[in-house]
Amino acid sequence: MATGQQANKRPSMFEVARLAGVSHQTVSRVINDFPGVSPATRAKVQRAIEQLDYRPSNPARALASRKSRTIGLIAGGREFYGPISSIGAIESIARSHSMFMSVLLVHEATCTQKEFDDLCRILDEQNVDAFIFLTPTDVMFSAACRAQVIWPRVLLTSTHGGMGLEEELRLLRPSDRRKIALAGIDQWSAMKDVMGLLKTLGHRSALYFAGPREWRDAATRLAAWNDLCAADAMNSVTIQCDSWDGSEAYARMNHVLEDIGRSGGKLPTAVVASNDAQAMAVARALHEHGMRIPQDVSVVGFDDMPGVDNMYPPLTTVRQDFEMLGQQAMREVLFLLGEGDKPQYASVQHGVGMVPAKLIRRSSVGVAPNR
């Protein structure tokens, strides 16, 4: 009878080889997906692995493949719904491929090049196989492009900002450009859908609450909105906010309503906010001034944060597929490491693979009132 220690002993590669009738080198080749193993032999080894419930040691795999099976992630936006959702998806895909994640979080607005480079060195010392940089702001995107790393890197960002993609990517050495991939949410198509809905319902005037200038998503949405307004003859006034926090949007919306009350002007028939926190704050200010949504003013948000479907009225918003963005980031890593196919995108803009965003129509948007 086996002792308790023997019963709990983890099966070894040699036991798998003995059961499959092959050498332990062949088992190693199957585990690490090396070529040169016949389908029949590969199937025998897989059956033995399943029968013994064998789980390869990651350190052993690292020695065999000369890879650490570790991905380094540097991410900004740690306080926000979108980045946290993407990080969760990245970790899930990595785990499904028997990879580890080493995650370092930074403040997206105050991160310096030195801080970013120091974090890269920390990850490099862990012998990571590749990097994922979640860079929501201009300063982080610039730092990620300038980082002196030799391993493949995937950047999650948006197409527009204070510095263009092409300008930043020119900073990379030609050899590095072959080891980089970019992915982001399709902000442009999302704004086009918002404009299409408002036009269909007869809206010809709007307030647009822009997000912080240093955030690339905010810059992309504003650029798209301005272009669409010019093309579709939408009379729009932009209210620039310095934060995503709803309190600033609430104060600015109150100021607009008070000015209109004093001057006798007309309020635009729609308000489009660049995130849901702003939209909720706008809705509060409108309610407090006796304005009905959507009978008097329609309101649109962005993000589809949990709970906005239970607002009164439920908020029309854009649902960004942050989970898919994280999944695509890991697929790009696997491709750059030679372990998978190049991920497919609905479209590519400025070299950035676009993950779709979907307009979710709810009752905060209605037919434009006559005024």
> In this structure, are strands 205-210 and 270-273 parallel, antiparallel, or unpaired?
parallel
Q: What is the pTM of this model?
A: 0.79
**Residues 193, 359 contacting (CB under 8 angstroms):** yes
pLDDT of residue 356: 94
Q: What is the largest CA-CA distance in the chain?
A: 93
Encode pLDDT of 156-195 as tens digits. 999 999 877 777 677 666 667 778 999 999 999 999 999 9
DSSP 8-class letter at 338: T
Is the pLDDT assigned to residue 1 strictly greater than 60? no
Give the tokens for residue 362.
């709810």
pLDDT of residue 175: 67
151-171: string of b/e by CB count within 10 Å (b at 16+)? bbbbbbbbbbbeeebeebbee
Mean pLDDT (the chain) is: 89
257-291: string of b/e by CB count within 10 Å (b at 16+)? beeeeeeeeebbbbbbbbbbbbbbbbbbbbeebee
More confident residue, 91 or 36: 91
pLDDT of residue 5: 40
pLDDT of residue 62: 52
For the chain, give the percent of residues with pLDDT over 90: 65
CA trace torsion 79, 83, 84, 87 (10° rounding): -140
pLDDT of residue 240: 97
pLDDT of residue 272: 98
DSSP-assigned letters across all residues of 149-165? --S-EEEE--S-SSS-H
Lowest mean pLDDT among 64-73, 75-84, 206-215, 294-303: 64-73
Encode pLDDT of 17-52 as tens digits. 899 999 877 887 787 666 778 999 999 999 998 898
Q: Once rounded to an integer, what is the mean pLDDT over residues 58-84?
A: 74
Q: Once rounded to an integer, what is the mean pLDDT over residues 78-90?
A: 83
Cis peptide before 294 (omega within 30 of 0): yes
CA distances from 156 to 17, 54, 76, 142 (A): 42, 36, 10, 12
Helix (H, G, I), strand (E, B) or coil at 318: strand
pLDDT of residue 57: 59
Q: Once rounded to an integer, what is the mean pLDDT over residues 288-301?
A: 97
Lowest mean pLDDT among 13-27, 231-245, 291-305, 323-337: 13-27
- CB-neighbour burial class of residue 104 (10 A; exposed 0-12, middle 13-18, buried 19+): middle
Question: For residues 359 and 199, what is the distance between their CA atoms, to the nearest angstrom?
Answer: 14
Grade residue 9 by pLDDT with cuts at 50, 70 and 90: low
CA distances from 165 to 56, 190, 232, 238, 253 (A): 41, 20, 27, 25, 33
pLDDT of residue 24: 76
pLDDT of residue 96: 84
The closest of 38, 48, 113, 43 to 74, measured between CA atoms, is 113
Is the pLDDT assigned to residue 10 strictly greater than 80? no
Query: Which residue ranges form the domains of the chain, and what is each CATH number?
Result: 12-47 (1.10.260.40), 70-185+322-355 (3.40.50.2300), 188-320 (3.40.50.2300)
pLDDT of residue 66: 56
**Residues 228, 258 contacting (CB under 8 angstroms):** no
More confident residue, 4 or 194: 194
Encode pLDDT of 223-262 as tens digits. 999 999 999 999 999 999 999 999 999 999 999 999 998 8
More confident residue, 270 or 24: 270
Tell me phi and psi for residue 53, to 5 degrees: 55, 45
More confident residue, 207 or 12: 207
More confident residue, 349 or 62: 349
pLDDT of residue 2: 41
Encode pLDDT of 107-143 as tens digits. 999 999 999 999 999 998 888 999 999 999 999 999 9
E strands, the chain, where? 70-75, 100-105, 130-134, 153-156, 180-185, 205-210, 235-240, 270-273, 298-300, 317-320, 347-349, 352-355, 357-360
pLDDT of residue 93: 85
Give the tokens for residue 93.
């895909």
